[in-house]
Amino acid sequence: MVTVDGPRRVSTRGGRWATAACWLAVAPVAAWALLRLAGLERGPLVLVTAFTPYAAAVAPAPVVLALALRRRAAATVAVLATLALVGAVAPRAVPDHGPTVDGPAVRLLTANLRLGSADPARLVTLVRMRRVDVLTVQELTPRLAADLDRLGLATLLPHRSLTPEVGATGSGVYARHPLRDPGHRRNRGFFFTQAYATVLVPGAPPLRVESAHPAAPYAVDVVPDWWTDQRAQPPATPTGGLGVLAGDFNATLDHAALRDLIATGYTDAADAAGAGLGGTWGPYDGDPIPPVTIDHVLVDRRIAVRAAGTWPVPGSDHRALLAELRLPAA
């Protein structure tokens, strides 16, 4: 006698409890992927979003679990979520130096000085050793500004646009080359100032540089201030003059607000150099916080990025970010 078997069912393992455990592992990864792709960060999710690279790193684990337990639906969701997260994060480690230009090179360093407590000698040494042409600083105090000049910054970078203030609100732009139109504006959130000036680099078009410092979303009740300051950042001017925004943005490339700003015509220098996963804030003053990348150098897309990297500054909870740029010729 010949019998015809029906479709064979693929067996699963562990029963209902295993299925529930599988979905409990997959659900957070799927939710995080949706949050990141749709730009849904609001309230406490603004803080959570900063740690998206870590979510991408652990995302394959639920895939392995779902495959091991033979839960096809859960495995499919886990694979899609993992691809979304890894696809958003991984390109930051791949260099893309941008346009080919033949103008002068500029080394730009940005550093949050943590209420003026950063080591001035270390910062001046970094400027000297790395031959920095432009320095933007945040949380610059009058005392630290005086110490920096006393230790040699006045000679290294004699041109400046400074708004030193006691506490966290001060900022500054220092340059090796002459400046024009110096000034500052004050954010509405935490009232951080953003010093700016146009740097006159020989052989290149005028370069407007601003020290960026939007409000920090350290608690839910200040997230509206964070949004206000993020939206107030100056957009790129792709049909106008060259511009650079450099500083402590209190946002990562996973925050929709920063991605929207970049979309106006900027390039993130560390991202372009393949160094976009380097942490700039977190555990550097001893706090048990995984490092996140909230300091950025955003450059006009007509500017080429040659290299980028971070450097420790004792006394600060941030690492300084150095970007080596090449400008278009004048």
Answer whether residue 7 shows pLDDT above 60: no
Confirm whether 246 is domain-assigned.
yes
Residues 71 and 181 in one domain: no
Domain count, the chain: 2
Mean pLDDT for the stretch of residues 30-50:
95
- Do 224 and 208 belong together in one domain? yes
C-alpha separations of 221 from 48, 72, 157, 225, 249 in Å: 15, 41, 39, 8, 18
Q: Give the pLDDT mean for 181-192.
A: 95
- Asked if the model's pLDDT at residue 3 lies above 70, the reply is no
Residue 10: pLDDT band with limits 50, 70, 90:
very low
At 189, is the pLDDT very low, low, confident or very high (cuts 50, 70, 90)?
confident
Per-residue pLDDT, 5: 53
Residues 267 and 309 occupy one common structural domain: yes
Domain around 202 = 97-326
> Where residue 18 falls among pLDDT bands split at 50, 70, 90?
confident
Last residue within a domain, chosen from 69, 92, 115? 92
For residues 88 and 159, membership in a common domain is answered with: no
76-121 tens-digit pLDDT:
999 999 999 999 999 999 999 789 999 999 999 999 999 999 999 9
Q: Could you tell me the pTM of the whole model?
A: 0.93
Dihedral in degrees, nearest 10, Cα atoms 269, 273, 274, 279: -50
Last residue of a domain, one of 67, 92, 117: 92
Q: Order of strands, edge to edge, in the sheet holding 159-163?
A: 159-163, 171-175, 134-138, 105-112, 319-326, 304-312
Do 51 and 128 share a domain, yes or no? no
Is the pLDDT reported for residue 207 higher than 50? yes
SS3 assignment, position 12 = coil
Q: Which residues, in sequence order, are bridge partners of residue 305?
A: 325
